Structure 1
Amino acid sequence: MFKIKLKKEKRKKVEEETVEDLISSLRIEGRRLPENYEIVENYPLRPPFSYALILREKDTKELLYFVDEIPLDPKEQESFIKLREVLEAELQAPEDNETPVQAFRRQLPEIIAKHRDLLKDVSPVGIKKIEFYLERDVLGYGKIDPLMADPLIEDISCSGANKPIYLWHRKYENIKTNVFFNSEEELDDFVMRIVHKAGRHVSIAFPMVDATLPGKHRLAVYYRREVTPLGTSFTIRKFREDPLTIIDLIQNETISLEVAAYLWLLVENKFSSMIIGATGAGKTTALNAIAGLIHPQHKIITIEEVAEINLPRENWVSTISRAGFGMEDKGEIPLYDLIKSAVRHRPDWIIVGEIRGEEAYVLFQAVATGHGGLCTMHAEDAETAIKRLTQPPMNIPSTIIPLMNCIISVKHVKAPALVGFGRGFSKRKFVKVSEIDSSRRIRDVFVWDSSTDTYKIGLSESYLFRRIADKWNLPVEYVYEEFERRKEVLYYLAEMNIRSCRKIDEFLNQFYNDPKATYQRIFKSRRAGW
């Protein structure tokens, strides 16, 4: 009997694979492309059912992100609607240690078998298409599910019904899509569903929501016309499963080897840093990459309003602020309380996603007691950042401003597209790295020159290098020698493409446990031509 069961399971698996292959081999036509557009690039999203096409309008050269999904024919559409209603009525909650996806895929064949009459005259290919759309709409994100599946998309933005959804693409930047909601009712229902998916509530009484979706994607919502005359809108900032590291920033030319080596020495000696810049400049990415240089054995506590920091480490505690309940906001846990509580857990590092209020004062007090500190803040430059820090609502006394040893300015730099020079480049850059000395003077140690795409380096009088020398009880010349060695190490990591968080953690463990042997191995590899 066991053999018979195995044969049945094997036959079923072969049949499923045959249907999948059949869909691919038939190349069933997807949506019709708009006229006067040419294909720039295409790649799979959820093959063989959905693909992304980057189109260019031949006259205006405007780009369009085109979601190409296999359509349902009228019969399939009718069966899909009926089955979706059945699913919503009969689908059970996941069992213990079962994910929603596993529960859905376990129950779907049973429900389809039970209601086989709903799929009468539907081909095996049609059934596969219906299963795809059921999972997309019931378990996924409906119309925007293909966008959520695209790893190259950072932000998804909907400004209202009957308007195209826009997104931020890592390769093509701001780009319009062919996806939109047909009515305000459809959009309101969709937003209500994804807010509930995030475990939150939205209504006319509470029309603004900032929440975290499954997968740690950040969701911001305006509901109906309570705060905007244009109706419901939402923005999703997608969470990156594989976060960018300091090696990625070097390879992407966001920073130079010199900047990376300098920041490594600062982090190793627990000097605090603040990353500043505008929205979308890459502050959180920079914060995550710099935090990846922290000693693997050090305890880190991160404090955020919405989970965005991603440090795949064992000795890391992630904390999230909580909104209150009811009209009086009872049970609210703000960033201020989280930072106060974090100090009692004896962390080596306290990392705050963004400071903007009274929590800044608690962070500075924590840094004053020997904790390492990292944070971000919205500001144009170091001078503006200090003005914001010393004024309400942060109210940091000017005498303790030097506790934030380093200020890093990041920008999304976009060169103008000029005639004769082609398309202007666009990238994120650390445009300035500045030290704050004991007299509250700002000293620029790295300044990016846009005309040459290089850094002007002012390390010869580095205040923090002198402090490191005092801490090590060695001449400052040794710090500069170590700085050069760290450049060699980072160059080796970049050349060998040792870039993932876990690989860098493994390397740092080796480095701190036996730095001499690590240096010798790297220099030996370099002499041998890697």
Structure 2
Amino acid sequence: MVSLKANSKKEEKENEPAVIVEPLPPDYRVVEEYWVKEPYAKAVIAESIRTGELKYFALEEPLRKDELSLYEKIVSFLEREVDPPDDPEVDRTEFVVKEAGKLIRKYKRLRPASEESKNRILYHVARDVAGFGYIHVLMLDPHIEDISCNGVRTPIYIWHRKYESLPTNITFVSERVLDDFIVKLAHMSGRHISSAHPILDATLPGKHRLAATFMREVSTSGSTFCIRKFREVPFSIVDLVNMGTLNDLIAAYLWVLVENKMSIMILGGTGAGKTTTLNAVASLIRPEMKIVTVEETAEINLPHENWVQFISREEFGFSGAKARSITLFDLVKTSLRYRPDYIIVGEIRGEEAYVLFQALATGHGGMSTMHADSLDYAIKRLTSPPMNISKIYLPLMNAWMHIERITITKGGKTKSVRRIRTVWELDDNGEYRVIAEWLPDDNVFLVDLNNSFLIEKIARKKGIGKGDVLREIERRRQFINLLLREGVTSYRAVASSIREYYKRVSYVKREVTSIEMLTILSRAKKATGVSAR
């Protein structure tokens, strides 16, 4: 186990600061502050009185001089006496805190003066040995989506869910320490980075996505990294309705589509919320269906048990011996042998698209995302190399959604939000039908289910009328609103509620009373065994 703290202290002794962590200046006004790890780490968003610039301050409780000496001894003992856990599923932080506690009890010279002092030391030990060192507060903050370091002597930037792009008070000023930090991140992800292999795309513990470059091999500013944080508890479809990403009627419509193995493509730019939406919609799939997901890095998180998760692998090796890469194309082909009801590809951009569309042709359900700013651009990409999808196969992808991150103004204040701009269906003749669109002037969704070709298709498949399917969509819309009113928004609670709904409601049932709806909800809460929120 590596301690970056020891490296930084060595550089400080040489009168060269390794990392500058700026304190909160007196000419900054606090806009918001909250605990990230009480009482040791706090996030403060402050505004410069002079320039009006917002800045994120990661503030930690510092170690006193006597505590710093004990900290260094405990880290040294950990490196000498404790082996890393064999089980990769073990929580690294809990493991380090537990082992450090054992060492404190074993050796008198490691014992702090008080329990408060001991807990403060253990926080810093866990932060540097098992955690993310200088950026640990940023990694713990649930409001941060992305963390970017553009090189030395440039502040680390974050994307905050409320305040968007912000510079932080953390700046790497030593190239060597930044290089060491990049190597540590690579090791934490189980990968290798060096001058010979200076580009890295990997997954950190906690499923956070890491992209990094090493030294000045490909970047003029030295090593760089970008971490896209994985949301451990994903947004549910009710969360998306609550945030205004889509409305209750679109959510109910999508619920009926995925139940009936209709395929869905989600389009959008970088950071638009494609994977978040994909995850929320995929959670609506019937619990008994078999799902196979294929990704480059693990970002999809489903509540289903009958789920196989495939991750691609890049070519790697040393001394001339190399293990061949496992591509998305290979994994989508492999997934067909698992007899899935649904194949979900995190993002298509290559030859794997052809195999996915072939799977749709054989009756599998499918979902994916794609970088595209419009439906026309998506079609051009799909029908051009390297995807090469014939236009006659395009209707196999039944529904298409375009999501976008946009800025809206309300009450004189602007904020960034995500909205489903348009939902289309592609009928058997290759004609596009607009089912829903967002009207920015009024911030409302216009939905026309009477224009739906897929609802007619589902009705024929089930041997019922189109009115029966529309009635069921309306019933599910009411159920989603019930979940919202009752505060049932968490991923697990919503998934449990959907399972209970599947058990007790059918298309041919003419009426479901509010009492029956509440009974379904009550049983779902009991089965989940957790708070609804």
Aligned to 2:335: 342
1:343 CA displacement? 0.9
Instruction: Choose from 361, 366, 378 the match for 1:373.
Output: 366
1:234 matched to 2:239: no
Question: What is the distance in 2 between the residues matched to 1:249 and 1:223?
Answer: 38
Question: What is the distance in 1 between the residues matched to 2:94 and 2:400?
Answer: 46
In structure 2, relative to structure 1, the CA distance for the partners of 1:521 and 1:475 (3 Å cut) is closer
The percent identity for this pair of structures is 45
1:512 matched to 2:502: yes
Instruction: Choose from 123, 138, 144 the match for 1:153.
Output: 144
SS of the equivalent of 2:171 reads: coil
Aligned to 1:143: 134
Report matched runs for 1:253-264 at 5 Å: 253-264=244-255
Aligned to 1:522: 514
Instruction: Choose from 197, 220, 228 the match for 2:211.
Output: 220
- Relative to structure 2, which stretch is displaced further, 371-380 or 466-475? 466-475
Question: What is the distance in 2 between the residues matched to 1:262 and 1:323?
Answer: 38
1:103 matched to 2:104: no
Amino acid at match of 1:106: K
SS of the equivalent of 1:258 reads: helix
1:130 CA displacement? 2.6
Question: What is the distance in 2 between the residues matched to 1:332 and 1:119?
Answer: 49
SS of the equivalent of 2:316 reads: coil
Whether the 8 Å contact between 1:489 and 1:522 is mirrored in structure 2 is no
SS of the equivalent of 2:414 reads: coil
Aligned to 1:485: 475
1:427 matched to 2:420: no
1:445 CA displacement? 1.1
Aligned to 1:25: none
In structure 2, relative to structure 1, the CA distance for the partners of 1:289 and 1:525 (3 Å cut) is closer
Whether the 8 Å contact between 1:265 and 1:483 is mirrored in structure 2 is yes
In structure 2, relative to structure 1, the CA distance for the partners of 1:222 and 1:311 (3 Å cut) is same
- Relative to structure 2, which stretch is displaced further, 68-77 or 313-322? 68-77
Question: What is the distance in 2 between the residues matched to 1:99 and 1:43?
Answer: 25
1:316 CA displacement? 1.1
Instruction: Choose from 444, 453, 463 the match for 2:443.
Output: 453
Instruction: Choose from 430, 449, 453 the match for 1:440.
Output: 430
Whether the 8 Å contact between 1:41 and 1:54 is mirrored in structure 2 is yes
Report matched runs for 1:250-289 at 5 Å: 250-289=241-280
Whether the 8 Å contact between 1:276 and 1:379 is mirrored in structure 2 is yes
Amino acid at match of 1:288: N
- Relative to structure 2, which stretch is displaced further, 459-468 or 44-53? 459-468
Q: Deviations over 1:176-222 (max 9, x none)?
A: 11112231111110110111011000001111111111111111111
Aligned to 2:529: none
Question: What is the distance in 2 between the residues matched to 1:303 and 1:166?
Answer: 30
Question: What is the distance in 1 between the residues matched to 2:408 and 2:321?
Answer: 48
Whether the 8 Å contact between 1:154 and 1:168 is mirrored in structure 2 is yes
SS of the equivalent of 2:155 reads: coil
Amino acid at match of 2:497: F
Whether the 8 Å contact between 2:35 and 2:42 is mirrored in structure 1 is yes
Aligned to 1:363: 356
Q: Deviations over 1:361-415 (max 9, x none)?
A: 0000111111110000000111111110000000001110110011100000113
Q: Deviations over 1:401-433 (max 9, x none)?
A: 11001110000011379xxx6222320010110
Question: What is the distance in 2 between the residues matched to 1:32 and 1:424?
Answer: 28
Whether the 8 Å contact between 1:155 and 1:235 is mirrored in structure 2 is yes
Amino acid at match of 2:168: T
1:231 CA displacement? 1.1
1:127 CA displacement? 4.1
Instruction: Choose from 350, 367, 378 the match for 1:385.
Output: 378
Whether the 8 Å contact between 2:97 and 2:122 is mirrored in structure 1 is no
Whether the 8 Å contact between 2:268 and 2:371 is mirrored in structure 1 is yes
Whether the 8 Å contact between 1:411 and 1:429 is mirrored in structure 2 is yes
Q: Deviations over 1:225-278 (max 9, x none)?
A: 111111111111111111101111111111011211211121111110000100
- Relative to structure 2, which stretch is displaced further, 388-397 or 233-242? 233-242
Amino acid at match of 2:450: S
Question: What is the distance in 1 between the residues matched to 2:231 and 2:84?
Answer: 28
- Relative to structure 2, which stretch is displaced further, 285-294 or 225-234? 225-234
Whether the 8 Å contact between 1:492 and 1:522 is mirrored in structure 2 is no
In structure 2, relative to structure 1, the CA distance for the partners of 1:70 and 1:102 (3 Å cut) is closer
Whether the 8 Å contact between 2:22 and 2:169 is mirrored in structure 1 is no
1:501 CA displacement? 2.9
Aligned to 1:94: 85
Aligned to 2:37: 46
Aligned to 1:6: none
Report the TM-score when normalising by structure 2: 0.87
1:335 CA displacement? 0.7
Question: What is the distance in 2 between the residues matched to 1:339 and 1:464?
Answer: 26
Question: What is the distance in 1 between the residues matched to 2:65 and 2:359?
Answer: 64
Amino acid at match of 1:464: L
Whether the 8 Å contact between 2:204 and 2:210 is mirrored in structure 1 is yes
- Relative to structure 2, which stretch is displaced further, 134-143 or 283-292? 134-143
- Relative to structure 2, which stretch is displaced further, 146-155 or 279-288? 146-155
Tell me the matched-pair count: 494
Amino acid at match of 1:38: R
1:126 CA displacement? 4.1
Whether the 8 Å contact between 2:103 and 2:110 is mirrored in structure 1 is no
Amino acid at match of 2:512: Q
Report the TM-score when normalising by structure 1: 0.88
SS of the equivalent of 2:368 reads: strand
1:311 matched to 2:311: no
SS of the equivalent of 1:179 reads: strand
- Relative to structure 2, which stretch is displaced further, 85-94 or 232-241? 85-94
Aligned to 2:284: 293
1:89 CA displacement? 2.7
Instruction: Choose from 61, 66, 89 the match for 1:70.
Output: 61
1:31 CA displacement? 7.9
1:506 CA displacement? 2.4
Question: What is the distance in 1 between the residues matched to 2:284 and 2:86?
Answer: 40
Runs of 5+ consecutive residues of structure 2 not aligned to the other structure: 1-20, 523-533
Aligned to 1:4: none
Whether the 8 Å contact between 1:212 and 1:306 is mirrored in structure 2 is yes
Question: What is the distance in 2 between the residues matched to 1:110 and 1:487?
Answer: 54
Amino acid at match of 2:305: E
1:351 matched to 2:344: yes
Aligned to 1:26: none
